[in-house]
């Protein structure tokens, strides 16, 4: 890229400043950048312009314009992501891959506000949730701000985060009713070992496990789903919960009250925490014989009765299949139809996250928001208020009407001058 050249000029007109101006053309945007030299004499103005030109070529513009996207990505991943949680690192990898797929930047400066707006629109057209789009843009913004801080980029583009669209729910799913959860428990068996219809062959050979093995598999998944229901743990947390590990997410039942000990590397807020355990979950764990309190608390078995390696994706997939088998739909999601190529809505079946939502919904009616925030391990109170406190207007309305209808005398105020009492009493006006 050619070096930046700064020239000087003086504006015409009697009311113009007597000082010389200096200007250059931005190699990235193509715009002219102008500022005053502060000098009225041409020789001094030329010296000021030469100084500015040297600064631009040596420091900011040239370096920013030459930085490739690949160089930026490699440095950010090596210097910044290596110190973050593994899940965060994987998520940023995904975000960067999407940027390369949709925007395809050769240089870092190619990631402009206009391109990011198109990036968000493409994600939305592909059926991505608004919360996912906001998360992607937030990670991109953090990365670009880091680039500005170390001099790889002159300034970060302005990112316009999309507002929640009208009619879009705050939650991707919803809390489950007790009957729906019990239906999921009842359908574990048929999810793992579906019986073929008359005259139909099984779609897959499950290795013909014995009835005892099948009972063990179903029991392990019943214990796991019940644990999610009573604990409010995130799926990844539940699979890393131990009875006897100091370096892992662990159950601590040695004190006056059962507690959860969460190391920083496993906590979403990146802080080591010791938090109270929900009493229902504590009672649930106390049913486990002391001799069996070793290793992981939850060990959902594979189809042949083997202890599976910890795989969040596989457990999440199987939990969704149980929700589908139980016909517990918690919303809809958009997918691309294989035949038409168009986006269509299909049911979104209950998942492990919906069991956590159910836990939060139950406790939101029992404790104050600050206590619920700690119980859900939210980073701030705004998240708790947004997702759980005051969310269910219908439930609140039912409680109000139940209390009102229990009154011995009910009074409705219809206008400023008319009061209508219970139908069993005479109507009077004032």
3-state secondary structure the chain: CCCCCCEEECCCCCCCCCCCEEEEECCCCCCEEEEECCCCCHHHHHHHHHHHHHHHHHCCHHHHHHCEHHHHHHHHHHHCHHHCCHHHHHHHHHHHHHHHHHCCCCEHHHCCHHHHHHHHHHHHHCCCCHHHHHHHHHHHHHHHHHHHHCCCCCCCCCCCCCCCCCCCCCCCCCCCCHHHHHHHHHCHHHHHCCCCCCCCCCCCCCCCCCHHHHHHHHHHHHHHHHHHHHHCCCHHHHHCEECCCCCCEEEECCCCCCEEEECHHHCCCCCCEEEECCHHHHHHHHCCCHHHCCCECCCCECCCCCECCCCHHHHHHHHHHHHHHCCCEEEEEEEECCCCCCEEEEEEECCHHHHHHHHHHHHHCCCCHHHHHHHHCCCCHHHHHHHCCCCCHHHHHHHHHHHHHCCCCCCEECCCCEEECCCCCCCEEC
Of 117-121, 185-189, 267-271, 287-291, which gets the smallest average pLDDT?
Answer: 267-271
Angle at CA of residue 180, ends 177 and 186, nearest 5°: 145
User: What residues contact residue 27 under an 8 Å CB cut-off, 6+ apart?
Assistant: 1, 2, 4, 61, 62, 65
Of 15-19, 313-317, 395-399, 417-421, which gets the smallest average pLDDT?
Answer: 417-421
Confidence of residue 254 (pLDDT cuts 50, 70, 90): confident
Distance between CA 289 and CA 203 in Å, rounded? 38
Kind of pairing, strands 249-252 and 32-36?
Answer: unpaired
Distance between CA 77 and CA 84 in Å, rounded? 10
Instruction: Quick: pLDDT tens for 293-349.
Output: 999 999 999 888 787 666 888 899 999 999 999 999 998 888 878 788 788 888 999
CA distances from 373 to 250, 359, 384, 424 (A): 20, 12, 6, 47
* Closest by Cα among 386, 359, 362, 384 to 374: 384
Q: Which residue has the higher pLDDT, 384 or 5?
A: 5
User: What residues contact residue 267 under an 8 Å CB cut-off, 6+ apart?
Assistant: 273, 377
- Highest-confidence segment of 196-205, 222-231, 416-425: 222-231
End-to-end CA gap in the chain: 86
Please give the domain boundaries of the chain with CATH numbers for all domains: 7-66 (no CATH), 69-149 (1.10.150), 178-364 (1.10.443)
CA distances from 259 to 62, 277, 383, 399 (A): 56, 5, 23, 33
Distance between CA 273 and CA 317 in Å, rounded? 29
* Closest by Cα among 129, 106, 108, 133 to 118: 133
Q: Which residue has the higher pLDDT, 397 or 80?
A: 80
Residue identified by tokens 């009713």 is 177
Distance between CA 189 and CA 304 in Å, rounded? 13
Distance between CA 378 and CA 359 in Å, rounded? 14
Of 85-99, 272-286, 402-416, which gets the smallest average pLDDT?
Answer: 402-416
**Whole-number pLDDT of residue 429:** 39
The answer to whether the CB of 264 falls within 8 A of the CB of 271 is: yes
Say yes or no to pLDDT of 125 above 90.
Answer: no
The answer to whether the CB of 355 falls within 8 A of the CB of 344 is: no
The answer to whether the CB of 316 falls within 8 A of the CB of 265 is: no
Say yes or no to pLDDT of 268 above 70.
Answer: no
Instruction: Quick: pLDDT tens for 340-369.
Output: 878 888 899 999 999 999 999 888 888 888
Tokens of 405: 């209808």
Share of the chain above pLDDT 90, in %: 33
């Amino acid at each position: 890229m050619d070096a930046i050249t700064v020239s000087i000029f003086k504006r015409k007109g009697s009311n113009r400043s007597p000082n010389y101006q200096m200007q250059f053309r931005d190699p990235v945007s193509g715009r002219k950048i102008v500022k005053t030299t502060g000098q009225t004499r041409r020789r001094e103005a030329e010296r000021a312009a030469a100084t500015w030109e040297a600064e631009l070529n040596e420091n900011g513009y040239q370096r920013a314009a030459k930085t490739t996207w690949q160089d930026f990505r490699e440095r950010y991943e090596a210097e910044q992501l290596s110190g973050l949680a593994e899940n965060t690192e994987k998520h940023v990898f995904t975000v960067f891959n999407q940027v390369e797929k949709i925007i395809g930047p050769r240089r870092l400066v190619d990631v402009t506000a206009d391109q990011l707006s198109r990036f968000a629109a493409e994600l939305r057209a592909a059926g991505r949730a608004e919360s996912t789009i906001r998360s992607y843009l937030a990670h991109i913004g953090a990365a670009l701000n880091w680039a500005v801080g170390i001099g790889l980029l002159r300034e970060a583009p302005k990112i316009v985060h999309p507002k929640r669209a009208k009619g879009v729910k705050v939650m991707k799913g919803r809390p489950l009713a007790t009957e729906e959860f019990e239906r999921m428990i009842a359908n574990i068996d048929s999810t793992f070992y579906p019986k073929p219809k008359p005259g139909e062959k099984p779609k897959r050979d499950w290795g013909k496990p014995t009835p005892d093995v099948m009972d063990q598999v179903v029991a392990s998944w019943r214990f796991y789903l019940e644990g999610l229901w009573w604990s409010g743990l995130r799926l990844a947390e539940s699979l890393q919960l131990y009875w006897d590990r100091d370096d892992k997410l662990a159950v601590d039942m040695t004190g006056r009250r059962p507690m959860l000990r969460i190391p920083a590397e496993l906590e979403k807020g990146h802080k080591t925490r010791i938090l109270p355990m929900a009493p229902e979950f504590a009672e649930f764990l106390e049913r486990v014989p002391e001799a069996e309190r070793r290793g992981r608390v939850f060990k959902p078995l594979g189809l042949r009765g083997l202890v599976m390696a910890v795989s969040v994706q596989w457990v999440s997939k199987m939990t969704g299949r149980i929700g589908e088998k139980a016909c517990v739909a918690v919303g809809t999601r958009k997918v691309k139809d294989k035949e038409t190529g168009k986006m269509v809505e299909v049911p979104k079946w209950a998942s492990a996250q919906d069991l956590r939502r159910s836990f939060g919904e139950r406790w939101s009616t029992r404790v104050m928001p600050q206590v619920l925030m700690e119980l859900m391990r939210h980073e701030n109170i705004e998240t708790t208020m947004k997702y759980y406190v005051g969310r269910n207007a219908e439930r609140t309305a039912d409680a109000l009407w139940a209390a009102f209808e229990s009154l011995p005398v009910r009074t409705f105020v219809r206008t400023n001058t008319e009061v209508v009492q219970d139908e069993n009493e005479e109507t009077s006006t004032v």
